Structure 1
Amino acid sequence: MNGITLQRRHGQVSVHWPRLAAEQLFVGRTPAEAIALAPQLFSLCGHAQQLAATLALAAASGQPAAANPQALAAVRLEAIRETLRRWLLDWAPACGQPCDASAIAVLARASTLQDYRQLAAYSIFGTEPAIWCQYGLAGWQQWAAAGDNAAARALQQLLAAAPEAPPALHMLGNTAALAAEPHWLAGHYPSWRSQPVETGALARYQPLLQAWLDTCHVSAARLLARWLALAAWLGEAEAGSDSCTLAGSGLALVDTARGPLLHLATLGSDGHISHYRVLPPTLWHSHPQGCMAQAAANGTAAQIQRRLLLIDPCVSFTLAGIDNEEPPHA
Structure 2
Amino acid sequence: MSGLDRLAGVLRLRPWAPRPGSVRNERPDWAGTLARGRLPAEVPGLLASLYSLCGHAHRLCAQMALQAAERGEAPADAAAARTLQHETLCEHARRIGLDWPAALSPAAAGDATRSLQACPPLRSREADLRDARLWLQKHLLAMPAADWLRGWEASPAWWSDWSTAGHGWLPALVRDARAAADWPVAAAEPLHAHAGTVSLRQLAASLRGTPGFSRQPLWQDDCAETGCWTRLNDAARPLPATPWQRLGSRVAELVRLSLPDEPGRSGSGWLAFGALQVAPGEGLAWVEMARGLLVHHAALDGAGRVAAYQVLAPTEWNFHAEGAVAAALERLRPAHGAFAQRRIAALMAAYDPCVRFEVESQPMEEERAHA
Normalising by the residue count of structure 2, what TM-score does the alignment of the two structures yield?
0.79
Which aligned pairs between 1:161-176 and structure 2 lie closer than 5 A?
Answer: 161=180, 163-172=183-192, 173-174=194-195, 176=197
Q: Which moved more, 1:96-105 or 1:170-179?
A: 170-179
Q: For residue 285 of structure 1, what is the aligned residue in structure 2?
A: 318
Contact preservation (8 Å) 2:223, 2:317: yes
- With over 3 angstroms needed to count, the CA separation of the structure-2 counterparts of 1:6 and 1:206, relative to structure 1, is farther
Instruction: Give the one of 14, 18, 22 matched to 1:7.
Output: 14
Q: 1:244 is paired with a residue of what secondary structure? A: strand
CA distance in 2, matches of 1:206, 1:311: 18
Instruction: Name the structure 2 match of 1:193.
Output: 220
Structure 1: gaps spanning 5 or more residues: none
Matched, 1:223 2:247: yes
Match of 2:237 in 1: 208
Q: Is the 8 A contact 1:200 1:281 kept in 2?
A: yes
Partner residue in 2 for 1:40: 49
Deviation, 1:184, is: 5.5
Alpha-carbon offset, residue 30 of structure 1: 1.0
Contact 1:159 1:220 in 2 (8 A): yes
Conserved 8 A contact 1:4-1:316:
yes
**Residue 159 of structure 2 is aligned to residue 149 of structure 1:** no
* Equivalent pair of 2:108/2:173 in contact (CA under 8 Å): no
Q: Which amino acid aligns with 2:13?
A: L
Contact conserved, 1:251 with 1:262, CA < 8 A, in 2? yes
Following TM superposition, by how much is the alpha carbon of 1:88 offset from its aligned partner in structure 2, in angstroms? 0.9
Matched, 1:181 2:224: no
Q: Provide the aligned length of Structure 1 versus Structure 2.
A: 325
1:199 shift after superposition: 1.3
Aligned residue in 2 for 1:118: 134
Q: Which amino acid aligns with 1:292?
A: V
Query: Runs of 5+ in structure 2 lacking a partner?
Result: 1-7, 262-266, 334-339
**Residue aligned with 2:222, SS:** coil
Deviates more, 1:109-118 or 1:258-267: 109-118
Where does residue 49 of structure 1 map in the other structure? 58
> Are residues 193 and 131 of structure 1, via their aligned partners in 2, closer, same or farther at CA, if it must alter by over 3 Å?
same
Q: Could you say which residue in structure 2 is the equivalent of 1:88? A: 97
Moved more, 198-207 or 268-277: 198-207
Q: CA deviation at 1:174?
A: 3.4
Q: Deviations over 1:231-285 (max 9, x none)?
A: 2211223232111123552010111111111000001000001000011111111
Equivalent position of 1:310 in the other structure: 350
Distance 1:198 1:128, change over 3 A: same
Asked if the contact 1:147/1:156 (under 8 Å) is kept, the reply is no
Residue of structure 2 equivalent to 1:104: 116
Which residue of the partner structure matches residue 273 of structure 2? 241
Q: Deviations over 1:127-160 (max 9, x none)?
A: 2221101113233322122242332233334544
SS in 1 for 2:108: coil
Residue 22 of structure 1, aligned match among 30, 36, 58 = 30
The structure-2 alpha-carbon separation of the partners of 1:240 and 1:9, relative to structure 1 and needing over 3 Å to count, comes to closer
1:96-144 CA-partner distances (Å, limit 9, x unpaired): 2511231132245354234433332233322222110111323332212
* CA deviation profile, 1:192-244 (whole Å, cap 9, x unmatched): 1111111111223574355x62xxxx112101111122122112232321111
Find the residue that maps to 1:255 and give its secondary structure.
Answer: strand
What letter corresponds to residue 322 of structure 2 in structure 1? Q
Identity %: 29
